[in-house]
Amino acid sequence: MHKLNTHPLYCFLDADEIKLLQEVAVSYSFRAEETIIQAGNRSRDIICLEKGSVSIRIEEADGSTLEVARINEGNLIGEMNFIIPTRRTANVVALTDIEADILPYDKLCTLLKARPELAGKVFAALNLQLSDKFVGMITVKT
C-alpha cells in the first residue's frame, strides 16, 4: 500500500477519506501534567497527538512510578487497545500542553463497518504504527 501523507492514522487515505475520519474525531486540549489515559480504564479510543508530548508511565509493585516511553506529536496513543479489548496498561500523562484528536471507538467502528475499504486502510496504518513502535523498542542504539 502506498503512503499518501505522513499522518500516523491517515497515511493511506485520500482527502475525502480523511474528511470522513475527521468528522468522527473530537478535538481536545490537555494541560501539562494532566492524565490523558488512566491505567485500568476500558476506553478503546484512538488518540492522535497533533501537538505536544506525553509520558507513558507504569506503576511498580512497590507503588513507585516508572516512565517507560515518551511519545511526541505526530504519533498515536491507544491503537493497541483499539485492536485488542483489554484494560489500559499504563498511565499517559501530558508533559506539555497537548492538542489531540480523539477518535471514539464506537463512532469509528460504525464508520469502518459501513466503509470496509476505509477499514483496510485504517488497519494498515495502525499495523504500521505498532510495528514502528515495536522495532523502536527492540533496536539497540550504539
Count, in order, helices (H) and strands (E) of the chain: 4, 8
Q: At residue 12, what are phi and psi to the nearest 5 degrees?
A: -105, 10
Q: Please report the beta strands in 5-123, taking only residues with DSSP state E, as ranges in sequence order.
A: 26-30, 35-37, 46-51, 53-59, 65-72, 76-77, 91-94, 98-103
What's the mean per-residue pLDDT of the chain?
89
**How do residues 86-126 score in pLDDT, each as one tens digit?**
888 899 999 999 999 999 999 999 999 999 999 999 999 99
Q: Indicate if the pLDDT at residue 130 is higher than 90.
A: no
Buried b (16+ CB within 10 A) or exposed e, 3-19: eeeebbbbbbbeeebbe
What domains are defined for the chain? 15-138 (2.60.120.10)
Res. 82 pLDDT band, cuts 50 70 90: confident
**How do residues 18-38 score in pLDDT, each as one tens digit?**
999 999 999 999 999 999 999
